[in-house]
Chains A and B, each alone.
Chain A
Amino acid sequence: DAGVIQSPRHEVTEMGQEVTLRCKPISGHNSLFWYRQTMMRGLELLIYFNNNVPIDDSGMPEDRFSAKMPNASFSTLKIQPSEPRDSAVYFCASSLAGGLETQYFGPGTRLLVL
């Protein structure tokens, strides 16, 4: 299995632009998680899906952030408009069923908003 795939691996954009991060979970996994990692705040859970349905989005910082999972093999995290404070590494992870099962992390997308 290829593992969790994220794209792009690096993204540099200017403030105000729309940013879309993509994730392909491991085939057969029913849960998908989006995390943000910064030096100041550590690793934060933004949202997680179970069977393509958002279960908990309480970690989404504000309305500028949105996430979708149109099918079991694809998810997006969108930031519109982006701000410099959104600069971070964004990880996608998947598991068989929920956070209590082993989560398999992708390599992350390093986002820099200028």
Chain B
Amino acid sequence: AQSVTQPDIHITVSEGASLELRCNYSYGATPYLFWYVQSPGQGLQLLLKYFSGDTLVQGIKGFEAEFKRSQSSFNLRKPSVHWSDAAEYFCAVGSYGQNFVFGPGTRLSVLP
């Protein structure tokens, strides 16, 4: 069965520091990979997605993610974090004919 893991439940970084959020998946088919962000009290918003092609994907708000098939990973990165990036981040995986699955989420706190 397909699954998504986000090993870090909570991460704290200082404003201006770099960020990497981890995502690993287990999927039988060719995966379609997503990162969504949820600000407090709000619904989720798509940051970026990977379907095929260049394995380094650029998203909104200065985020990027790299697909590494050999490691079954799709880690999210940002070179310099802003206080407004504090939120919950969800990795998600889907494929044609398969259920769409969200990971458990990683909560990001940003120190001033």
B102 CB contacts on chain A under 8 angstroms: 42-43, 45
Chain A binding site: helix, strand, loop or mixed by DSSP? loop
Q: Is A100 an interface residue (CB 8 A)?
A: yes
Contact call A42/B105, Cβ cutoff below 8 A: yes
Q: Is B43 an interface residue (CB 8 A)?
A: yes
Report Cα–Cα, A106/B44, bound state, in Å: 8
Chain A, range 94-114, C-beta contacts under 8 Å to B = 99-100, 102-103, 105-108
Q: Is A71 an interface residue (CB 8 A)?
A: no
Q: Is A32 an interface residue (CB 8 A)?
A: no
Chain A, range 1-60, C-beta contacts under 8 Å to B = 4, 42-43, 45, 56, 58
Contact call A105/B32, Cβ cutoff below 8 A: no
B90 CB contacts on chain A under 8 angstroms: 43
Which residue of the partner chain, among B43, B44, B94, B105, contacts A99 with CB atoms under 8 Å? B94
Contact call A43/B32, Cβ cutoff below 8 A: no
Q: How many interface residues does chain A have, given as a range? A: 10 to 19
A103 CB contacts on chain B under 8 angstroms: 36, 44, 46
What 1/0 mask marks residues of chain A from 56 to 100 whose CB sits below 8 Å from any chain B CB? Answer: 101000000000000000000000000000000001010000011
Contact call B49/A99, Cβ cutoff below 8 A: no
Highest count of chain B CB atoms <10 Å: which of A56, A93, A99:
A99
Contact call B46/A100, Cβ cutoff below 8 A: no
Contact call A4/B94, Cβ cutoff below 8 A: no
Contact call B105/A43, Cβ cutoff below 8 A: yes
- 15 sample A-B contacts, Cβ–Cβ < 8 Å, listed by A number: A43-B90, A43-B102, A43-B105, A45-B102, A58-B99, A91-B43, A91-B44, A93-B44, A99-B94, A100-B51, A102-B46, A105-B43, A105-B44, A107-B43, A108-B43
Chain A interface (Cβ < 8 Å from any Cβ of B): 4, 42-43, 45, 56, 58, 91, 93, 99-100, 102-103, 105-108
